[in-house]
Amino acid sequence: MDPAAGSSEMSAEPEVTSIAETLEKWHSQLGRQFGPLSRPQRRTLRLLVSVRSMRVSDLAEQLGLTTAGATRMLDTLEAQGYATRARLPLTDQREVYVTLTEAGGRALAQADAVYFERVSTSVQRLSLEERRTLAKLLQGLLE
């Protein structure tokens, strides 16, 4: 077996490398802070906005974090008043659930506004047709 075959750098098509590098640079250009929330905090609250409550372990899994990592993130969000943790009655009392607060919803709305404005500014240099094509291509990656 060729030792270079396992290396993603050696085996990636030039187009794939270019896409990966460009996405990484664009991601960096959008920034790390969106209004009151950091990128990871915004991501966390985006997961919570669509559910009444979620187990911390499930949240950690969806974020790709350890439970300890998610707990540290939630310590900060809870201190800011953006999320609360509780054990629910009639459930396994070892399980902790997290809920988005009203303040968290407002912070998320502010962060989303900043994020969408940055994306909008970034893609304005593209024509309307190019933006539509980009949106379609990105959607295709998620399907």
Nearest-angstrom CA–CA distance, 25 and 47: 24
Of 57, 36, 31, 58, whose CA–CA distance to 106 is shortest?
A: 36
In sequence order, what DSSP letters do the residues of 76-118 get, joined into one string?
Answer: HHHHTTSEEEEPPTTS-TT--EEEE-HHHHHHHHHHHHHHHHH
Residue 32 has pLDDT above 50, yes or no: yes
pTM: 0.79
Of 122, 65, 126, give the one whose Cα is nearest residue 98.
65
> Which residue type does 126 have?
L
Q: How big is the CA angle at 52 (ends 47 and 55), to the nearest 5 degrees?
A: 65
Q: Is the pLDDT of residue 1 over 50?
A: no
Confidence at residue 10, expressed as pLDDT on a 0 to 100 scale: 55
pLDDT, tens digit (0-9, with 9 covering 90-100), for 53-104: 899 999 999 999 998 999 999 999 999 999 999 887 777 667 889 999 999 9
Q: Residue 98 has which token pair?
A: 């997290």
The greatest distance separating any two alpha carbons of the chain, rounded to the nearest whole angstrom, comes to 57
What is the overall mean pLDDT for the chain?
Answer: 89
pLDDT tops 50 at residue 130: yes
* Domains annotated on the chain, with CATH: 32-142 (1.10.10.10)
